[in-house]
Amino acid sequence: MNHLVITSTIFQHKPSHLLTWHSNDVVTKAQIDFILVRQRWSSVQDSFSYNGADTGLQSGSDHRLVGAKVLLRLATRRKNKPKQFERYNLPLILMFLDFIAAFDSVTRQKLWKILENDGMPGMPLKFVELMKACYDASASRVRVYGEETEEFLVEFGKKMGCEDEVIKIQKKLEKIISGSDGSQAKDLLLTLKELPINLEVLTTTRIGMTVNSLRKSTTEDEIVSLSKALIKSWKKFLDPPAASSGKEVNNDKKEKKETAPEEASKPDEDNSALQRAFPALPSYTNDAVRLKCREMLQNVLRGDGEMPDGSNDPGLVAEQIEDAIHADFKSTNEKYKNKIRSRIMNLKSNNMLRLNVLTGAVSASKLSKMTPEEMASVEMKALRDKFVKEGIEDSQLAVVEGTKTDLLKCGKCHKRNCTYNQLQTRSADEPMTTFVLCNECGHRWKFC
């Protein structure tokens, strides 16, 4: 079309220098960013994507910078003189770079600074100046119902939603908690403070739990104070302050001062309330065994496809259950697998337990610690009680004769309902042997 050609299809390179987009699953890759030039224009000597360059990865972009090696004759632009392409009557050629796809929410001044200081392989500073000249002081208009608005300067790329930015910051904070460099923690917390976060974003991303974990794992006072301030501001969405007069506010302050020593000795109630409001997200894993266990739990939670009203996502609940079980064993050993099998069998046989887990009446952490007796259905519990009762009755022998007494205590059930008999089993000058039978549990013993 229009005699244009894609420069990246002309030159042969390795796939790593051709692919421009990488998915988060590290498997899906594609070549979706290109540079188009006129077919007769032969000044392009090479075209490739920068592999490993700082092309917005710090901002969470999954695109790579596409560049081309071009032979250009650049001239210094002076004021009050005609432009070079007008002076020499040459065609004007511009190289377009997709800032929206590659550099989301990154200011251009910061981008120029990165390119000038760090540089890229084979990228001369003249190219940086050329890109700055192309995009500095660029203005745009918007056409609404056939009429154009006034010009406005474009200084940023595409602005992401608040939830997307919170998720990106959350991933960086999780890396810092796991032991990475924590020099960016302060900047990330300040960025969170400026974002317009509401209750829906807090509930969806669980950023409150991440900030609370950062507060516990760090020893820097400044980061701790910033984390506490963020958590305190977010808690207002859960418990809105009631309207009160000035006197009541002063009385509340006095009561807080009087009860401060008592509250210091209590457990951290703020953390428990925050944990109930924002349950921790399951950890990411690429372990094949754990992924298969999560899939099996998700299938048994879905059941026949009918979901109760107010139920949570079966996939998320399955990941939380598996994550809680894995936290107990720290590995996928045989004990871990047996516990997974036990939960799957009980969820499959006990429909009431499955509904309680989906609706949140039974949390994932609680389910991971429940015993088989606690997970059993009502019918199974009645059947087990029946078997226990029959076993006790079978173990008890019919009492033909004997003396009932409450002076003897059973060592098994600790009750005082016993029958005893005395027989002379040894020589006549030896004391008699007493045989005791517990009428409650059937336990027998003897003594002399």
129-140 confidence digits (pLDDT tens): 877 777 666 777
Contacts of 390 (CB under 8 A, 6+ apart): none
pLDDT at 265: 43
Contacts of 57 (CB under 8 A, 6+ apart): none
Neighbours of 347 (CB within 10 A): 21
Helix (H, G, I), strand (E, B) or coil at 262: helix
Q: Give residue-wise pLDDT tens across range 354-385.
A: 888 888 888 888 888 888 888 888 888 888 88
What average pLDDT does range 2-16 have in this prediction? Answer: 79
- Mean pLDDT, the chain, rounded, equals 76
What residues does CATH 1.20.930.10 cover in the chain?
162-254+268-277
How much is the pLDDT for 246? 46
The 10 Å CB-count burial string (b at 16+, else e) for 179-205 is eeebebbeebbeebeeeebeeebbeeb
pLDDT for residue 248: 46
Query: What is residue 168's predicted lDDT score, i.e. its pLDDT?
Result: 85
Q: Options 3.40.50.1370, 3.90.1150.10, 1.20.930.10, 2.40.30.110; which CATH number does 162-254+268-277 get? A: 1.20.930.10
Q: Are 227 and 189 in contact (CB under 8 A)?
A: yes
Q: What six digits make up the tokens of 439? A: 């009428």
Fold entry, domain 396-447? N-terminal domain of TfIIb (2.20.25)
Convert the pLDDT of each residue in 227-255 to its tens digit.
888 888 888 776 544 444 444 445 554 45
33 close to 49: Cβ distance less than 8 angstroms = yes
Report which of 297, 410, 287 is spatially closest to residue 358, judged by C-alpha positions: 297
* Alpha-carbon span 275 to 268, nearest angstrom: 11
Q: Where in the chain is the domain with CATH 2.20.25.10?
A: 396-447
Its pTM surpasses 0.75: no
Tokens of residue 153, six digits: 């300067």
Amino acid letter for position 106: V
Query: What does the pLDDT read at residue 12?
Result: 83
